[in-house]
């Protein structure tokens, strides 16, 4: 199985491995995939008051391409607004990492993880607003 | 002693040719290069004699009473095809039912699937959690239409050794032919076609330190005499059972490899068992949540198939890139399906995805095993730090109760 250099790079030096505080209402957590499928990604974003993602962390159970896809995702997320983050597509990840056809689904899962984290963040914000009676 | 990388620990996939085997083969490429079927000159006679000698050596390895019971093929896949299709065709007036197991090699399973399309009935017996088929289940499955039972000697993925002698007793009593794909077990665990009542057996050279591209089908000649319809026509070689000019250098290598295995196999099995146990102990002592896949007791000595929970197999293979092993993970298979053997044993897909198969062999050393143990331990720990499943496990979450958002 020949990996692209970029996948190997991300796999050997993954960026942003870790955990953010789930209970922080500025943190959105996305957990996608299933152990039975061999792929589980947890991606978290911390959004600042300016609406920009100031930190992103991931943990992945999956192959080298899955780890690389989620590592790349966290790199791209930092500094973007939440709306900008929602435009990240799996095809961009797949192209950047030169993923072969059999590994495209890893990039799809990464896109799902981003969307899931954003959805979680937004629902927390909505809950906060309604509590505040806005 | 400096360790040379990459370190090969995938001896179930193939083995290097033993230097002694290579030496034996070389003259037959361009000195004694005759066609064994050339009856009229010394080149042919020399080749024929070499083939004859190899037949004897291979017969001795499996306990066959007559060297003519060894029919050379291009490998075990061909031997498996010949055995199953050959018996099904020859004995079609006697019946059309074949019994085999769910964990056989694809050479058996795919052949059976083809025969099903052509009108045969096939029973695929299940295995237990350790990958063992029960002789009793074989007995229960036999009907008056059964013409063949095929059960492998030892499984290539998890190393489970099947109760061949027990099954042979049953098939002999019921008058049904018994074939065994003995590829992985030959020389490593006891196997004797006479004492175990085996009527057909597939073997290959490249799993026993011989060359690739040469194998054999043992076809019993007496008590009972087994007949098969040839699958390869053209010249009537190999007693009419397999036409085609013999691969003399390959056969010479195969014979020498068999001779070495007969002489050294038992000692070697002990050494491999010690090495394997050393590796296993190091891993289970240093790491938690390591599952042994397969039977501890009835196992190939060099096989260690384990699942490292919370870490995916292909990621592990990448992490230990200077060590050559294999995995039951879907990511490592062309079809993206996880191992069907592990699945048949009831091992969950999540553990299948985390499985690694170490296959130790003749040229592995204790230093290599320790190096590999160190590397695997450190990489598993590293990958677990990156795993959301490990974090959840540490928090006390029971992963089997989680609702996953699978895509």
Q: What confidence tens digit (pLDDT) does each residue in B114-138 have?
A: 999 999 999 999 999 999 999 999 9
Smallest CA–CA distance, residue B100 to chain A, in Å, is 28
Distance CA B348, CA A35 (A): 9
Q: How many residues does chain B have?
A: 407
Question: Cis peptide leading into B230, omega within 30 of 0?
Answer: no
Instruction: Say whether residue A61 is in contact with chain B using an 8 A CB cutoff.
Output: yes
User: Which residues of A are designated catalytic?
Assistant: 37, 106
> Which chain A residues are Cβ-neighbours of B388 within 8 angstroms?
31, 40-42, 59-61
The residue whose two tokens read 């695997």 is B376
Mean pLDDT of B374-383: 96
Give pLDDT, residue B327: 87
pLDDT surpassing 70 at residue B336: no
Residues in chain A: 134
Using the predicted structure, report yes or no on whether residue A52 has a pLDDT greater than 90.
yes
Q: How far is A32 from chain B (nearest CA, A)?
A: 5
Residue B253: per-residue pLDDT: 98
Question: What's the mean pLDDT in B154-173?
Answer: 97
Q: Contact B332/A1, CB-based, under 8 Å?
A: yes
Q: Do B391 and A1 touch (CB under 8 A)?
A: no
Q: Per-residue pLDDT for A24 more than 70?
A: yes
Whether A83 maps to a domain, the answer reads yes
User: Cα angle vertex B180, ends B103, B159, to 5°?
Assistant: 45
Burial of B224 (0-12, 13-18, 19+ CB in 10 A): exposed
Asked whether residue A134 is domain-assigned, the answer is no
On the question of pLDDT at B400 being above 90, the answer is no
pLDDT tens sequence across B64-111: 999 999 999 999 999 999 999 999 999 999 999 999 999 999 999 999
pLDDT the model gives residue B321: 87
CB B299 within 8 A of CB B188: no
Determine phi and psi for A76, rounding to 5 degrees: -70, -30
Mean of the per-residue pLDDT values for chain A? 92
A59 near A17, Cβ under 8 Å?
Answer: yes
Contact B302, B272 (CB under 8 A): yes
pLDDT (mean) for B132-161? 97
Has domain B7-12+265-393 been given CATH number 3.90.1150.10?
A: yes
Find how far residue A77's CA is from the centre of its chain.
8
> Which B residues in the span 253-312 are in contact with A, Cβ-Cβ below 8 Å?
310-312
Question: Does the pLDDT value for residue B344 go beyond 70?
Answer: yes
CA B71, B72, B78, B79 torsion-angle sign = positive
Separation of alpha carbons B199 and B223, rounded Å: 9
Max CA distance (Å), chain B:
80
In terms of pLDDT, which residue wins out, B18 or A36? Answer: B18
> Looking at A2-11, A22-31, B355-364, which range is the least confident one?
A2-11
The CATH number of B19-261, from 3.30.70.20, 3.10.450.50, 3.40.640.10, 3.40.50.1820, is 3.40.640.10
Q: Which residues of A touch B405 (CB under 8 A)?
A: 31-34, 112, 116
Q: Residue A90 sits in a domain of what CATH number?
A: 3.90.1010.10
Work out the percent of chain B whose per-residue pLDDT is above 90. Answer: 89
Overall average pLDDT of the B349-373 stretch: 94
The shortest CB-CB distance from B353 to any of A32, A38, A108 is to: A38
Helix axes B366-385, B248-286, angle to 10 degrees: 50
B370: part of which helix (H) or strand (E)? helix B366-385
Biggest CA-to-CA distance, chain A: 56
Q: Which region among B208-217, B325-334, B358-367, B375-384 has the lowest average model confidence (pLDDT)?
A: B325-334
Q: What is the pLDDT of residues B172-199, one digit of tens each?
A: 999 999 999 999 999 999 999 999 999 9
Query: Domain containing A27: what range?
Result: 5-120
C-alpha dihedral, A61 to A65 to A69 to A70, nearest 10°: 10
What percentage of chain A carries pLDDT values higher than 70? Answer: 97
pLDDT for B280 equals 97
A57 interface with B at CB cutoff 8 Å: no
CA-closest candidate to residue B69, choices B184, B228, B186, B280: B228
Q: What is the pLDDT of residue B226?
A: 97
Interatomic CA distance for residues B258 and B266, integer angstroms = 13
When scoring A7, A12, A35 by the number of chain B Cβ atoms within 10 A, the one with the most, hence best to mutate, is A35
Q: Do B405 and A32 touch (CB under 8 A)?
A: yes
| Mean per-residue pLDDT, B262-274 | 97
pLDDT at A11: 87
Do B52 and B67 contact (CB within 8 A), yes or no? yes
Q: Is B83 helix (H, G, I), strand (E, B) or coil?
A: helix
Question: What are the residue ranges of CATH 3.40.640.10 in chain B?
Answer: 19-261
Number of domain units in chain A: 1
Which residues of chain B does A66 touch, with a Cβ-Cβ cutoff of 8 Å? 312, 315
Q: What is the mean pLDDT of residues B390-394?
A: 94
- Give me the pLDDT at residue B174, please: 97
C-alpha dihedral sign at B27, B29, B34, B36:
positive
Position B332 scores a pLDDT of: 66
**What percent of chain A stands above pLDDT 90?**
76
Q: What is the pLDDT at residue A48?
A: 94
CB nearest A64 (choices: B318, B338, B390): B318
Q: Residue B290: helix, strand or coil by DSSP?
A: strand
Residue A133 has pLDDT above 70, yes or no: no
Q: Give the pair of three-digit tokens for residue B371.
A: 């190096």
State whether residue B399 sits within 8 Å of chain A by CB. yes
Q: Where in chain B is the domain with CATH 3.90.1150.10?
A: 7-12+265-393
Tokens of B43: 């080149």
Q: Which of A59, A60, A63 sits opposite B314 (nearest CB)?
A: A63
User: Over the stretch A74-124, which tens digit does the pLDDT of each residue have?
Assistant: 999 999 999 999 999 999 999 999 999 989 999 999 999 999 999 999 999
- Which chain B residues are within 8 Å of A114, Cβ to Cβ? none
- In 3D space, the residue among B241, B269, B289 whose CA is nearest the CA of residue B73 turns out to be B241
What's the gap in Å between the CA of A28 and the closest CA on chain B?
15
How many other CB atoms are there within 10 angstroms of residue B403's CB atom? 6
What is residue A128's predicted lDDT score, i.e. its pLDDT? Answer: 84
- Which of A120-129, B51-60, B252-261 shows the lowest mean pLDDT across its residues? A120-129
Cβ contact (<8 Å) for A109 and B310?
Answer: no
- Mean confidence (pLDDT) of chain B: 95
**Residue A129: inside a domain, yes or no?**
no
Residue B23: both structure tokens together: 């030496």
């Amino acid at each position: 199985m020949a990996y692209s250099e970029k996948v190997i790079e991300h796999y050997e030096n993954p960026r942003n491995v870790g955990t953010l505080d789930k209970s922080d209402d500025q943190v959105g957590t996305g957990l996608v995939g299933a152990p039975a499928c061999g792929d589980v990604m947890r991606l978290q974003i911390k959004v600042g008051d300016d609406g920009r993602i100031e930190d992103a962390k991931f943990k992945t159970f999956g192959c080298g391409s899955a780890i690389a896809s989620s590592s790349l995702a966290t790199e791209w997320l930092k500094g973007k607004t939440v709306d900008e983050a929602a435009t990240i597509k799996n095809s961009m990840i797949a192209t950047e990492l030169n993923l072969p056809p059999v590994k495209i689904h890893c990039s799809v899962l990464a896109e799902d993880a981003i969307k899931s984290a954003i959805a979680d963040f937004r629902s927390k914000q909505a809950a906060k607003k309604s509590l505040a009676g806005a | 002693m400096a360790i040379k990388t990459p370190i090969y620990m995938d001896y179930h996939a193939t083995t290097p040719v033993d230097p002694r085997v290579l030496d034996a083969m070389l003259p037959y490429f361009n000195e004694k290069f005759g066609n064994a079927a050339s009856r009229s000159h010394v080149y042919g006679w020399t080749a024929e004699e070499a083939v004859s000698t190899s037949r004897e050596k291979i017969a001795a390895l499996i306990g066959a009473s007559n060297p003519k019971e060894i029919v050379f093929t291009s490998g075990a896949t061909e031997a498996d095809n010949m055995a199953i299709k050959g018996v099904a065709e020859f004995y079609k007036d006697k019946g059309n039912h074949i019994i085999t197991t769910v964990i056989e090699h694809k050479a058996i399973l795919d052949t059976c699937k083809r025969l099903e399309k052509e009108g045969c009935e096939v029973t695929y017996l299940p295995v237990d959690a350790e990958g063992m088929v029960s002789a009793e289940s074989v007995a229960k499955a036999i009907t008056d239409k059964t013409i063949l039972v095929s059960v492998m000697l030892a499984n290539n993925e998890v190393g489970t050794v099947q109760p061949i002698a027990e099954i042979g007793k049953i098939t002999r009593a019921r008058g049904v032919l018994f074939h065994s794909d003995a590829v992985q077990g030959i020389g490593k665990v006891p196997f004797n076609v006479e004492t175990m009542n085996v009527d057909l057996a597939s073997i290959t050279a490249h799993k026993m330190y011989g060359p690739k591209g040469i194998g054999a089908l043992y076809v019993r000649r007496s008590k009972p005499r087994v007949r098969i319809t040839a699958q390869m026509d053209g010249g009537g070689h190999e007693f009419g059972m397999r036409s085609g000019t013999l691969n003399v250098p390959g056969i010479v290598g195969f014979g020498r490899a068999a001779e070495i295995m007969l002489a050294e196999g038992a000692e070697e099995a002990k050494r491999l068992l010690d090495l394997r146990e050393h590796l296993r102990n190091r891993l289970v002592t240093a790491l938690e949540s390591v599952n042994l896949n397969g039977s501890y007791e009835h196992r190939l000595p060099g096989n260690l198939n384990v699942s490292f929970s919370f870490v995916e197999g292909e990621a592990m293979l990448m992490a230990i890139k200077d060590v050559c092993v294999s995995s039951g993970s879907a990511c490592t298979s062309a079809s993206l399906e996880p191992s069907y053997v592990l699945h048949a044993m009831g091992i969950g897909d999540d553990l299948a995805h985390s499985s690694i198969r170490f296959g130790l062999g003749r040229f592995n050393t204790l230093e290599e095993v320790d190096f590999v143990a160190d590397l695997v331990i450190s990489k598993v720990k590293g990958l677990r730090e990156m795993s959301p499943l490990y974090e959840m496990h540490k928090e006390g979450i029971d992963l089997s109760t989680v609702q996953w958002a699978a895509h």
